[in-house]
């Protein structure tokens, strides 16, 4: 009598799916990790969420100056975050975006 070993069909791990998100400015779909997340907290403030784990309503932007300007110029970001921005909010977010993009670009070189 020959004993046969059964193959374990559950041993091979399936590849974990990569989360996809859409940039609110250019509508391009990309990996969640490559986009930058803005979040509206429960207090109503808008913050940049670097880790992507902060609690609140989120929206994603490409790491490009054009997308940041387009999102803050139009109403797409306000609509996605269910918030309204004052002129000061827009200026502050645009400056934070510029600083973050400079930091990211200097880290690549």
pLDDT for 3 equals 64
pLDDT for 34 equals 93
CATH class held by domain 20-108 = alpha beta
Buried b (16+ CB within 10 A) or exposed e, 21-50: bebbbeeeeeeeeebbbbbbeeeeebeebe
pLDDT for 2 equals 63
Q: Delimit the domains of the chain by residue range.
A: 20-108
Widest CA span in the chain: 83
pLDDT for 108 equals 60
pLDDT for 4 equals 65
Residue labelled with tokens 């803050």: 72
pLDDT for 74 equals 87
Phi, psi of 32 (to 5 degrees): -55, -35
pLDDT for 105 equals 82
pLDDT for 104 equals 82
pLDDT along the chain (109 residues), means of 10: 61 78 96 94 90 92 92 91 90 90 77
Q: Which residues contact 104 (CB under 8 A, 6 or more apart)?
A: 63
pLDDT for 16 equals 84
């Amino acid at each position: 009598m020959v004993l046969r070993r059964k193959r374990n069909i559950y041993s091979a791990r399936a590849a974990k799916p990569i989360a996809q998100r859409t940039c609110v400015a250019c509508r391009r779909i990309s990996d969640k990790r490559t986009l930058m997340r803005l979040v509206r907290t429960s207090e109503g403030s808008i913050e940049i969420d670097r880790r992507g784990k902060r609690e609140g309503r989120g929206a994603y932007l490409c790491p490009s100056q054009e997308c940041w300007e387009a999102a803050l110029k139009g109403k797409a970001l306000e609509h996605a975050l269910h918030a309204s921005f004052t002129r000061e909010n827009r200026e502050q977010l645009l400056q934070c975006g510029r600083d973050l993009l400079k930091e990211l670009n200097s880290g690549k070189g």
